[in-house]
Homo-oligomer: A and B are copies of this chain.
Amino acid sequence: MRETFDKELVQLHVRFAEMGMLVNEAIFRSVKAFVDHDKNLASMVIEHDQAINQCESQLEKMTLELIALYQPVTSDLRDVITVLKASSDIERIADHAVSLARTTIKMKGTHRIPEIEVEIAKMGEYAAKMVADALDAYVKRDLERAYQIAQQDLFLDQELAKIKQLCIAEMQANQKAVVSGSHYTLAATYLERIGDYATNVCEWIVFLKKGEIVELNPGNSDDENGNA
């Protein structure tokens, strides 16, 4: 029984890691598509989101079956439940990558502001790295890195505030910048939210290792977006 449970638990983790890789790919691609104004790559991110949603559904089914069949307790139960909860977080990260991809498509042909695009690119690369690191720390159950990664979210909060200000200044100075300024603001908001969900993944690492439910990112700056 124990051996079979362990095998199935490994399968669950493999599937979660696979979902994580798809989500990582979605963010990297959505950021690259935004930076390169690449409508085709953006469309690809949107198309591939269905596979990520299916991963989440499969993980839900697998966890329920595992619990019903093997009735795990203590740390085994924590393991299974954590996959169930963390899969929601990473699915939402992918949703925000899709939102960014949709923005890229809508922006085609609008007035561009390179100065702001540089900031969004920076933010995008940072968010993508944060997610990749959080997923890696999850797989390795690395508590110390979980705490460190969660701290990085502050940078995204600051970048969002900065980009919002830049957009407002541009939109006030130039009527042509209004449409793109609105898109840029939303794009930065999506990336900031991705940081919140990466922080949630870090919280699940703490839960796995210590059995404690913690809030790693309380009192989120002065930005409109509270913690996820």
Please list the residues of chain A having a beta carbon within 8 angstroms of any beta carbon in chain B. Answer: 46, 49, 53, 57, 60-61, 63-64, 67-68, 71, 73-74, 77-78, 81, 84-85, 88, 92, 95-96, 98-99, 102-103, 106, 164, 167-168, 171-172, 175, 178-179, 181-182, 185-186, 189-190, 213, 215, 222-228
Contacts and interface: CB of A to CB of B under 8 A. Distances in A.
Contact of A53 (B49, B99, B168, B215): B215
Contacts of A189: 186, 189
B99 A224 contact: yes
A82 B68 CA distance: 14
22 contacts: A53-B215, A57-B213, A60-B213, A64-B78, A67-B67, A67-B77, A67-B81, A68-B74, A71-B71, A71-B73, A85-B85, A95-B226, A99-B224, A102-B222, A102-B224, A102-B226, A106-B224, A171-B171, A171-B182, A172-B178, A186-B189, A190-B224
- Copies of this polypeptide in the complex: 2
A19 to B, nearest CB: 15
Contact of A84 (B84, B168, B227): B84
A74 to B, nearest CB: 7
Nearest to A96: B226
Contacts of A60: 85, 213
A168 B185 CA distance: 13
A96 B78 CA distance: 28
A226 B67 contact: no
A180 to B, nearest CB: 10
A97 to B, nearest CB: 9
Contacts of A85: 60, 84-85, 88
